[in-house]
Chain A
Amino acid sequence: GENVGLHLPTLSVQEGDNSIINCAYSNSASDYFIWYKQESGKGPQFIIDIRSNMDKRQGQRVTVLLNKTVKHLSLQIAATQPGDSAVYFCAENGSSASKIIFGSGTRLSIRP
């Protein structure tokens, strides 16, 4: 998918450092959240998800934190690598059983 021209927040991180990407969601009824990674010319790729009965979930090199009080979600990427360069979207299920609602995305760039 193309995000050229999309005025995204950008996060620039030194290779090897940890990255933290933040997302604010708006729907209090959301009880399921997902992080997707989108590289140029590709579709959103599932990274990690979390349900509202949890506040932290860890995967391989990634951690998602959920703060329901302030409706905030974050994605932490440990030891960032050049291959992590992409646009990262948070998504929520809102009050729907069948769709997910994407946020506007953050572009992560890695400095060598």
Chain B
Amino acid sequence: EPEVTQTPSHQVTQMGQEVILRCVPISNHLYFYWYRQILGQKVEFLVSFYNNEISEKSEIFDDQFSVERPDGSNFTLKIRSTKLEDSAMYFCASSEVQGRGPQHFGDGTRLSIL
């Protein structure tokens, strides 16, 4: 069964450094998403992406964050100048349709900011 894959599984970064989290969505999907889950909290939406543009973003997704689809298979989340509170699990998801179809999630990247 096709799946969303994320790398790395765990990223440890010094505060203030930039980090790039990588995702390979399911190949025939056109809609891509990033979510995060801070330890002890709910899964929170960050951003959705379609046709090389951001469709929607949450208040969390400020100028520190950016997303890119650099080629036909990868979808990345960049976090500039990381802060301690950016420590969380970051999940990538993709879907075939938008709004009324399931989003399929990867197993996440655990980001630890020191």
Contacts and interface: CB of A to CB of B under 8 A. Distances in A.
Contacts of B41: 6
Interface stretch (B14-22, B31-39, B78-86): B31-39
B39 A99 contact: no
B102 A98 contact: no
A84 to B, nearest CB: 18
Interface residues of B, number: 31
Interface string B71-114: 00000000000000000010100000011111111111010000
A32 B44 CA distance: 17
Contacts of B40: 3-7
Contact of B89 (A1, A103, A105): A1
A102 interface: yes
Between A2, A7, A36, A51, the greatest number of chain B beta carbons within 10 A of the residue's beta carbon is seen for A2
Given A1-B37, A49-B102, A103 B42 contact: yes
Indicate the size class of the contact surface on chain A. Answer: 20 to 34
A43 B106 contact: yes
A96 interface: yes
A43 B105 contact: yes
Contacts of B44: 102
Contacts of B45: 99-101
A18 interface: no
